[in-house]
Structure 1
Amino acid sequence: MRFAFSDDQLAFRDAFGDLLTKQCTPADLRAAWANETGRVPGLWAAIVEMGVTGMLLAEGDGGLGLSMVDLVLLLEESGRHALPEPIVETAAFGAPLERDPALCVAAGHELVPWADTADVVYTGAGRVAGADASLTPHASVDASRRLFEVSGPFTGADMTAAFVRGVVGFAAQQCGLADRMIELTVAYVKERTQFGAPIGSFQAVKHHLANARLTLEFARPLVYRAAVTLDAAHASMAKLKGDEAALTTARAALQCHGAIGYTTEYDLHLYMKRSWALARSWGDRRHHIGIVAGATRRGSS
């Protein structure tokens, strides 16, 4: 039995990564923080054209007929670039519900990111067409991830399986964010000198980065397992460890950078603040611990 991603899966991830490297640069992120939508002009159309939003749909519905195992690598890559688009909400959560890869879906329990530019919005109250929704804006630590309280003529929807897919997707994004923050920090500590030597040569700095890498390497297998099983408890484990990896890495990265790491002039804050936002989205730590604890009790009874 093969416990590894196929060459085709890795090639799709790399092609998607190439697209984001070209069209979702830190400069593009900064522009998204300041523009009217919080999104990158033209990027969503390219993502849809690549087929990412329809990966989980059958070919008869205009999709690619693939699985969450195929999609999870792309969602991790989207985290590495702090992609300011509702890709998890659409590709993992909404497209299988709507059976239409062309629709842009926004989703959240109470506050919904990018609800102002979505075709369809899902909340804990149900589904509403974007054109029929009434939106109240709320502040967000990530200025590209615009938050809205949504009201409107909701209709009921069974979102149980879709929620699990969304949790796995955001866990993958947290892993991608952690990986990117480690990359930025390693580059910085090689360059920054103190006492005549790169600070990356100091043992205390090495320990910070080793701990960050360790949490990421523990999180990834849980995310990939959850993508295979789509089990609610496995998804919660993945989200817990993905959040831990991203938050641990954010703290380590900020410590290694010093005060410059928190400034808006430096790129680190773009990824750090996204990780903070995602850690409180789609179930916080308490919520997912409860799911894992419940599954553990049932398994031992």
Structure 2
Amino acid sequence: MDFQPTEDQRDLRAGVRGLLEGRYGREALRAAVDAAAGTGTGTGAAVDRGLWRELGEAGFFALRLPESEGGVGLGLPEAVLVFEEAGRALVPGPLVATHLAAGVVPGAAAGTAVVTAFDLAGDLAGDLVAYLGEADAVLGAAVLPVGEPVRAADPLTPLHRVARPGGAEASASASRSASVSAYVSEGALLTAALQVGSALRTVELAVRYAGEREQFGQPIGAFQAVKHTCAQMLVRAEVARTAVYAAAVTGDPGEAAAAKLLADEAAVRNARDCLQVHGGMGFTWEADVHLHLKRAWVRAEQWRTAAEAEELLAAELLDSAG
């Protein structure tokens, strides 16, 4: 089976990259980071509604809606290419939830509504929800809940904790969970595509810095240890990208879970290796490397964690062995 992108798919990816480079390049990213830091709360910045509408107008959220419903009429293979580019640019906001809500929540497809989801691992105190303060709706929830702001590792991913209902409200919570569960496989795959984009971008950052930074009279990229690190980063990212593309073509939940596992590992480990290549410079606020690592940490907890993916894959292996 051939998983190579077609010419139309490559053109789609190039178009999205051009849009994001023009609308959300490094200057816009750093401005958003500085604005988040300037609040002094560490809870992140608001969603850029103008960018959100532009993404909607470009068909980002309505990509998989039928043309009869005002969508673009494409499929998962095209969606992962688009989300890969968004991950590369570190576009903030609940991109996956809003995309999944197209056709379900009014305004989601057009980008005039911001939709988040109960897609993060919670704790004993309640469920964590990203961008709740900026959202117009929560996927699978009848009403927009009220939450308490929580300090987040990623400055561009504000978090809120929503207390878990009990007693008479427990059935409503179970209904919400059942509604969201229908989107978990696709949500995990699209999040994996975001992770792949980030993993590939950190490869670029590491290689570029290795060619510029000199030590002992030559670029550090000439040293074997640095070469091996960059090569391992590329292999890790490409293996994850292949798994994501394959899962998008087959639509198999097990393959989507495996792709999420590989993509999470690629994004986190590549960001750490990129920090290693940068040395002390990589740990400074001015460098972009730490932003990729922090976002990768958050995404690794979204839609399907490593433990959940491993459980699903183990169950499939047991079923096939039986």
- Tell me, yes or no, whether TM beats 0.5: yes
Structural mapping, 1:267-282, within 5 Å: 267-282=288-303
Q: Which moved more, 1:43-52 or 1:276-285?
A: 276-285
Matched, 1:13 2:13: yes
The answer for unaligned runs of 5 or more in structure 1 is none
Identify the residue that residue 188 of structure 2 maps to in structure 1. Answer: 167
Matched, 1:117 2:134: yes
Structural mapping, 1:17-166, within 5 Å: 17-33=17-33, 34-35=35-36, 37-40=45-48, 42-91=50-99, 93-98=100-105, 101-102=109-110, 103-107=113-117, 108-109=119-120, 110-122=127-139, 126-130=140-144, 133-150=145-162, 156=176, 158-166=179-187
Matched, 1:288 2:288: no
Structure 2 CA distance for aligned equivalents of residues 3 and 270 of structure 1: 30
1:259–1:31 Cα change, 3 Å: same
The answer for unaligned runs of 5 or more in structure 2 is 37-43, 121-126
Q: Which amino acid is 1:115 matched to?
A: L
Structure 1 CA distance for aligned equivalents of residues 80 and 234 of structure 2: 20
Shift of 1:13: 1.4
Q: Deviations over 1:18-73 (max 9, x none)?
A: 11111112222222232574333521111000111111112232211211111110
Q: Deviations over 1:56-115 (max 9, x none)?
A: 112232211211111110000100001112211211x22254475133210124212112
TM-score (norm 2): 0.85
Shift of 1:3: 3.4
Structure 2 CA distance for aligned equivalents of residues 90 and 178 of structure 1: 23
Structure 2 CA distance for aligned equivalents of residues 257 and 2 of structure 1: 37
Q: Which amino acid is 1:56 matched to?
A: R
Q: Deviations over 1:186-205 (max 9, x none)?
A: 11110101111100000000
Q: Deviations over 1:104-132 (max 9, x none)?
A: 2101242121122222113xxx41344xx
1:221–1:96 Cα change, 3 Å: farther
Q: Which amino acid is 1:166 matched to?
A: G
Aligned with 2:141: secondary structure?
strand
Count of aligned pairs between the two proteins: 295
TM-score (norm 1): 0.91
Structure 1 CA distance for aligned equivalents of residues 220 and 89 of structure 2: 26
Structural mapping, 1:145-294, within 5 Å: 145-150=157-162, 156=176, 158-294=179-315
Q: Which amino acid is 1:114 matched to?
A: Y
Aligned with 1:57: secondary structure?
coil
Query: In 2, are the aligned partners of 1:105 and 1:118 still within 8 Å (CA)?
Result: yes
Query: In 2, are the aligned partners of 1:193 and 1:199 still within 8 Å (CA)?
Result: yes
Structure 2 CA distance for aligned equivalents of residues 61 and 112 of structure 1: 29
Structure 1 CA distance for aligned equivalents of residues 268 and 217 of structure 2: 31
Query: In 1, are the aligned partners of 2:47 and 2:134 still within 8 Å (CA)?
Result: no
Q: Which amino acid is 2:81 matched to?
A: L
Shift of 1:234: 0.9
1:293–1:2 Cα change, 3 Å: closer
1:22–1:180 Cα change, 3 Å: same
Q: Which moved more, 1:32-41 or 1:196-205?
A: 32-41
Structure 2 CA distance for aligned equivalents of residues 105 and 120 of structure 1: 5
Identify the residue that residue 124 of structure 2 maps to in structure 1. Answer: none
Structure 2 CA distance for aligned equivalents of residues 298 and 147 of structure 1: 38
Structure 1 CA distance for aligned equivalents of residues 88 and 255 of structure 2: 22
Q: Where has structure 1 moved over 3 Å in runs of 4 or more?
A: 35-38, 96-100, 150-157
